[in-house]
Structure 1
Amino acid sequence: MVRRTFQLIPGVGPWKEKDLWARGIHTWEDFPESGVVLGQKLDGLARQRLALAREALEHRNLTALAAMIPPREHWRLYPEFARDALYFDIETNGNQEQEPTVVALFDAEGLRVFILGRNMDELPEAMARRRLWVTFNGSCFDVPVLRQYFGKRFPTPEAHIDLRFVCRRLGMGGGLKEIEDKLGLGRPPHMKGVNGWDAVLLWRAYLARGDVEALRFLVEYNLYDSFQLRALMDTAYNRALDELNMDAVARLPVFERGEVLYDVSRLILELGPTQRDLKVLERVRAQDRDLRQD
């Protein structure tokens, strides 16, 4: 789809792009090397921009392509750079000064979880390895929270697709879970109805009592928030092609989450108490013994 994108030419918006398609100029290669297409003043610039775009794509220069293509159309870059994609979601402590508590990443290498007080400091380096970020409302929440927390250590991606806005343009409003349910991508029964505030409560239960089961539930919830984005991205891309009547462009196979559910179970079971958690439990048990004596 990226090769069919003409909105990288200054002065070409959605309607003029569709006009080019209607005139048989479907791809960059179809743009005539001579003659008047967009107008004498614009044609020279158009050919220059298309040449730059072809060179950037040939060298897989995502930074250059993302700079040329309007952010609202960055979804078109997805198939070309899907192997470089990072799907992620964060949970926070719910305080006025938001801190990330659990962050789940999903990419071509699989799932990873970063937990405050355990391995959260390793997150910036892990995220920096991927050039294309995919989130749901991440441009408004996740990324600002992480940037505030990590400061200059936090990386900037070459491109960021925020599915909240892609889905809204496709007539799919609402939150992530609501959209998943409408698309048949719903979560298992024990995850139904769990929301962001529940995630805050689970974290607070873990901190207060060293409740590892609360942490495991929180991590599972967060993992779903990350890898479900892959299926939503595939589905949104296909629907966007349908909206543009791009019958000649291949649709993407929608990601099947069964491929990662084993990894979800493994990561959750590996979570055990830290020395700090054990000290919390010791204090709680001591208080419990005191109460029983009363």
Structure 2
Amino acid sequence: MILKVEHRTLFEYDVPIYETATEVRLHPHTGQTSRQRCTSFTLQLDPPAPIFEYTDFYGNKVHHFNLLQSHRRVSIFGTSVVETGTGRAGREENEEILLLDFSAESRFVHFDAAIRSFIEALPHTDEPEALAASICRKINDTFIYEPGATDVHSTSTVVMALGRGVCQDFAHIMLAACRSLGIPARYVSGYLYGGSTPEGHDEASHAWCEVWCGPEKGWVGMDPTHSSIIADERYIRIGSGRDYADVPPVRGTWKGNARETLGVSVRVTEIG
């Protein structure tokens, strides 16, 4: 599939602020091990500012910029075209280090009593992909999708207690369950193409997991939010990390004494 992504983020302030420093992770992943290829990407800012970039520890492309002058709004508009396909995510060069990071607790992923109880009823198997798929299905069957029930700071412990949340929350639950069973798993940030009708277009970023299924199979994408489970050509991968804290779409700081309002819109369309 050839998919176009338009991702707009708008910060507005009731009084002027200054010295904004912002990081943006919106560039779709392209690499030797990737099942997708980003053919074009543009990032537009208002107010305009020089844009710099680097690659972080987990291989994610990060753009960053500073606004030193006084301003009351910041508009960030990322547009990308991505060719997607089926297949595995492959292996990474620094695999041994990554597997250690993706096997431990992290800021939003906790190995608590609720997670241990959640995985006790799972069917026993030594095959990582089958076990991870069972976890994925159980989350999809058990938890209620409810926007607004949680926020970006909610941990897996909070979501387990609530029994509801959104894609970010379900990914954190899956990471906690897989890692506590000794299966390395990583958080993936990106988009999901919902179909050709207006109702099918995403209104926000999406999140799912990639599970390490051994050297022969590599990383397998699984989505606990949707019943189809396996991430296919509809999924556009931006980046990955230990949890949401490693790959937020936009993160920044600013100086001032203002009230901030955030607006985000995402549109994914098929163009070929």
TM-score class, shorter: under 0.3
- Report 1 or 2 for greater relative contact order, CA contacts < 8 Å, sequence distance ≥ 6: 2
Structure richer in helix, relative to its length: 1
Higher relative strand content:
2
Q: Which has the larger radius of gyration?
A: 1
